[in-house]
Amino acid sequence: MVRDTRPEDMADVLRVRTAGWRAAYRGIVPPAYLGAMDDGPEALTRALRHFRERPADRHHLVAERGGRVVAFAVCGAARATLPLPAEGVRPGELHALYAHPEVWSTGVGSLLLEEARRRLAADGYPSTVLWVLEDNMRARAFYERHGLRPTGSRTLLRLGGARLPELQYGAPVLPAPREAGQAVPASRPGGAGVRRAGGPGAARIAC
């Protein structure tokens, strides 16, 4: 099922983030950067602090299988520091979407993406955008299967001394939002994902 993230989930969220980045970005992100990713006690303390200090309009979601957190997503207002879509209206943004490699192509990423878009619709955003590494073809294919398309906006992400091009994808939000906190049954087919934000675990996405 998909539900809101709780503080006690953060250790699993970090584990999923590290495993997702190392699998999805092998050959894209410098190996030294991936090898240095930390999900230990200090990283957990930082993650808990950031989670508790999150903006009020930010949704943190997790997906469970067999009582275990296997994927997570973060969505909310689009960051003002990045380009807007051509129409110039501030959209909602999928800041992050990651699944553990063990559950790639099982539908978990699709469930999280759908619920994130519904949450943004409930918040009144007319569209959803996200940022994906240009070379992350698996993630790009995932989003395109769900109706998102490149908007034409580009930026550069600097990681580990490398300059990695990112593309903005966008689409209208999904209609008929569920009530916040309502569980979503984990039974639909789906695929992988992608994610982008200001560091590991943002919304470049790996599912």
Which residues, 6+ apart, have CB-to-CB distance to 137 below 8 Å? none
> Is 62's pLDDT higher than 90?
yes
pLDDT tens, position by position, 183-207? 433 322 233 333 333 343 344 555 5
pTM: 0.82
Determine the pLDDT at residue 79.
Answer: 86
Tell me the DSSP string of 9-57.
Answer: GHHHHHHHHHHHHHHHSBTTB-HHHHHT---SHHHHHHHHHHHHT--TT
Q: For residue 171, what pLDDT band results from cuts at 50, 70 and 90?
A: very high
Contact 194, 143 (CB under 8 A): yes
Contact 205, 195 (CB under 8 A): yes
Mean pLDDT of 56-72: 96
88-92, 130-134, 136-140 — which is least confidently predicted?
88-92
pLDDT tens, position by position, 33-45? 999 999 999 999 9
Determine the pLDDT at residue 102.
Answer: 96
Give the helix/strand (H/E) hosting 121: helix 108-122
Backbone φ, ψ for residue 141 (5° rounding): -65, -40
Whole-angstrom Cα distance, residue 111 to residue 5? 15
Using alpha carbons, select from 63, 58, 60, 66 the residue that is nearest to residue 16: 63
Mean pLDDT of 177-185: 42
> Is 32's pLDDT higher than 60?
yes
Mean pLDDT of 46-56: 94
Whole-angstrom Cα distance, residue 17 to residue 23? 10
Q: Is 26 exposed, middle or buried (0-12, 13-18, 19+ CB in 10 A)?
A: exposed
Which residues, 6+ apart, have CB-to-CB distance to 168 below 8 Å? 82, 83, 85, 129, 130, 131, 150, 151, 152, 153, 154, 155
